């Protein structure tokens, strides 16, 4: 699976949009981009995933560049409860492929 | 409510003792996973199981053992052979091994004294 690069930490003001970038320049054609988050001392939570097209659900939007070498997770109106570590994961669609959690981005939402 | 339960939340053991961590799910998922997380680090895969009576080693299986006698249950034993067992242990499940959407339990924090 392709490697991802994320900033170590980011801050965001409460109520503003949080834009979390992820680079995955070696992604291959059948690999999906997944996003999870982990609130302190809890289990990770699935947020969203996509292949080529932009995706949106009740939690977030995922914007994938046309060349698929990078993506951005957008939390449209960040709240204090969104403070967490956000993991960007690239995973092939083969059933044998596992999720590989790297260091992630620590997002701090501030009042 | 459907979900994954792990017990206990905190566990203390003396060095040299085996300890078994519980993981139960009522989501009717076929696949289950065990991860280890050290402070400030990402998750590392210990073992996974795609079906009852079958399991496979992950990236860091040494010093651990598992069983999958029931679909709902996937206990992890941390043996005395595991050199650095103190960590946060997370169990997860998914509909199948091919499904990238995994549901995680709350975790067990194991401290070996």
Q: What is the mean pLDDT of residues B97-109?
A: 91
Residue-wise burial string across A3-22, b where 16 or more C-beta atoms lie within 10 A, e elsewhere: ebebeeebebeeeeebebeb
- Evaluate if residue A31 carries a pLDDT over 70: yes
Percent of residues, chain A, with pLDDT higher than 90: 81
- pLDDT, residue B1, reads 60
What pLDDT shows up at residue A27? Answer: 92
Taking 70 as the threshold, does the pLDDT of residue A95 lie above it?
Answer: no
Residues of B with CB under 8 A from a CB of A: 4, 33, 35, 40-45, 48, 58, 88, 90, 92, 96-98, 100-107, 109
pLDDT class for A29, splitting at 50, 70, 90? Answer: confident
Mean model confidence pLDDT for chain B: 93
Residues B107, A41: C-beta atoms closer than 8 Å: yes
Please answer yes or no on whether B106 and A43 come within 8 Å at the CB atom. yes
Q: In chain B, whose CA is at the least distance from the CA of A42?
A: B106
Distance from CA of A101 to the nearest CA of B (A): 5
A32–B100 CB contact, under 8 Å? yes
Would you state the pLDDT for residue A98?
82
Beta bridge partners of B112: B13
The residues near B98 (Cβ < 8 Å, ≥ 6 apart) are: A93, A94, A95
Average pLDDT, whole number, for chain A? 93
Q: Where does the pLDDT of residue B96 fall: very low under 50, low under 70, confident under 90, or very high at 90 and above?
A: confident
Report pLDDT digits (tens) over B39-81. Answer: 989 999 999 999 999 999 999 999 999 999 999 999 999 998 8
Model confidence at A89, pLDDT cuts 50, 70, 90, reads very high
Can you tell me whether residue A78 is helix, strand or coil? Answer: coil
- A32 close to B (CB below 8 A): yes
3-state secondary structure of B17: coil
Alpha-carbon gap: A14 to the closest alpha carbon of chain B (Å) = 24
Give residue A97's pLDDT.
74
Cβ <8 Å between B106 and A45:
no
| Strand-strand pairing, A105-110 and A9-13 | parallel
């Amino acid at each position: 699976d392709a490697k991802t690069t994320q900033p170590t930490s980011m801050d965001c003001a409460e109520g503003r949009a949080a834009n979390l970038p992820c680079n995955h320049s070696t992604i291959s054609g059948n690999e999906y981009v997944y996003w999870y988050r982990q609130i302190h001392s809890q289990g990770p939570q699935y947020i969203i995933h996509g292949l080529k097209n932009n995706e949106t659900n009740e939690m977030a939007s995922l914007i994938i560049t046309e060349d698929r070498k990078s993506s951005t997770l957008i939390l449209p109106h960040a709240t204090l409860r969104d403070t967490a570590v956000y993991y960007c994961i690239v995973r092939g669609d083969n059933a044998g492929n596992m999720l590989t959690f790297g260091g992630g981005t620590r997002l701090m939402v501030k009042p | 409510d459907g979900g994954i339960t792990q017990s206990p939340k905190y566990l203390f053991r003396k060095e040299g003792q085996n300890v078994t961590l519980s993981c139960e799910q009522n989501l009717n998922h076929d696949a289950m996973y065990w991860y280890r997380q050290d402070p400030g680090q990402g998750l590392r895969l210990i073992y996974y199981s795609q079906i009852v009576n079958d399991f496979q080693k992950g990236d860091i299986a040494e010093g651990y053992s598992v069983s999958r006698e029931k679909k709902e249950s996937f206990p992890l034993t941390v043996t005395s052979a595991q050199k650095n067992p103190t960590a946060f242990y997370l169990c997860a499940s998914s509909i199948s091994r091919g499904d990238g959407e995994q549901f995680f339990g709350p975790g067990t924090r194991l401290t070996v004294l």
